[in-house]
Amino acid sequence: MSRNIERISTGIPGLDELIEGGFVKDNAILVTGSAGTGKTIFSSQFIWEGLRNGENCMFITFEERPEKIKQEAMDFGWDLGKYEEKGQLILRQKDPFDTAEGDELFWFRSELEKHDVDRLVMDSTSILSLYYDDQYKVRENLFKIVKTIEEADVTAVLTTESPQGEELTRFGVEEYLVDGVIQLGILSLGESARSLAVRKMRRTNHGTKSHEMSITENGIVIE
């Protein structure tokens, strides 16, 4: 691939080497996996890397309370609250039971512009199933979310839960809307070892095999 492609570090030791130096700047990356595979840790670590590099970041959580996100990040030594107080980090919780009529779901569009956001996390898009019973509406709004992110010129990580079985994502469409897909998993039942595989990454030469992943006291590390 061209060396002129601008990339940003993921903040995950071992991952940048698998994707030619990091995520392509201003791309949307989907991190998918079942419960307990490390999606929120991955997201926080990605945000922490941006904060340390002086970037403006936004973390939108649809499920966990912001205080819990910060507490869990502190377990790894990541003081998100310090950057929130400085205004460098915007940490917002969106109640999934709020009305989602019109453009209300996309309130973050103006926030991205207002705060000149460089990195964005949305955790987790699976919660959209609570907004809508109609799968068409879920897919339509996923498309709108990714479109909004593209227009804002931010590098984004979106998380989603993968169902049991062969399916990569819950709704079966997310992987086609984003620029990259990273799948987290458990190597085998009864084992604590986790895995990471790069399933898709546009403008990037990458393999698709699974790599062993550890969650250490300093965060996620790819072996």
DSSP 154-170: -EEEEEEEPPSSS-SSS
Q: Which pLDDT value is given to residue 168? A: 65
Residues 167-195 have a mean pLDDT of 77
- pLDDT of 3 over the 90 cut: no
Q: Which pLDDT value is given to residue 167? A: 58
State the alpha helices, DSSP H only, in the chain.
39-52, 66-74, 80-86, 108-114, 135-152, 174-177
* pLDDT tens digits, 110-141: 889 999 999 999 998 887 766 666 777 777 88
Q: Which pLDDT value is given to residue 55? A: 98
* Average model confidence (pLDDT) across the chain: 87
Beta bridge mates, 23 = 8
Residues 209-221 have a mean pLDDT of 95
Q: Which pLDDT value is given to residue 192? A: 63
Region class of 20: left (phi > 0), else alpha (psi between -120 and 50), else beta: left
- Reading the block at residue 109, the tokens are 């569009």
Q: Which pLDDT value is given to residue 10? A: 98
The helix/strand/coil state of 175 is: helix
Q: Tell me the pLDDT band of 220, cut-offs 50, 70 and 90.
A: very high
Q: Which pLDDT value is given to residue 155? A: 97
Residue 201's φ and ψ, nearest 5 degrees, are: -160, 100
**CATH 3.40.50.300 fits domain 7-222:** yes
The whole-model pTM stands at 0.91
Residue 221's φ and ψ, nearest 5 degrees, are: -135, 135
- pLDDT of 213 over the 50 cut: yes
* pLDDT tens digits, 91-116: 999 865 554 444 555 678 888 999 99
Domain spans of the chain? 7-222
* Pairing mode, strands 89-93 and 23-24: unpaired
- pLDDT of 189 over the 60 cut: no
Query: What are the C-alpha distances in Å from 121 to residues 23, 30, 33, 40?
Result: 14, 10, 16, 9
Q: Which pLDDT value is given to residue 203? A: 93
Q: Which pLDDT value is given to residue 171? A: 64
Residues 86-92 have a mean pLDDT of 96
- pLDDT of 5 over the 70 cut: yes
* pLDDT tens digits, 43-73: 999 999 999 999 999 999 988 999 999 999 9
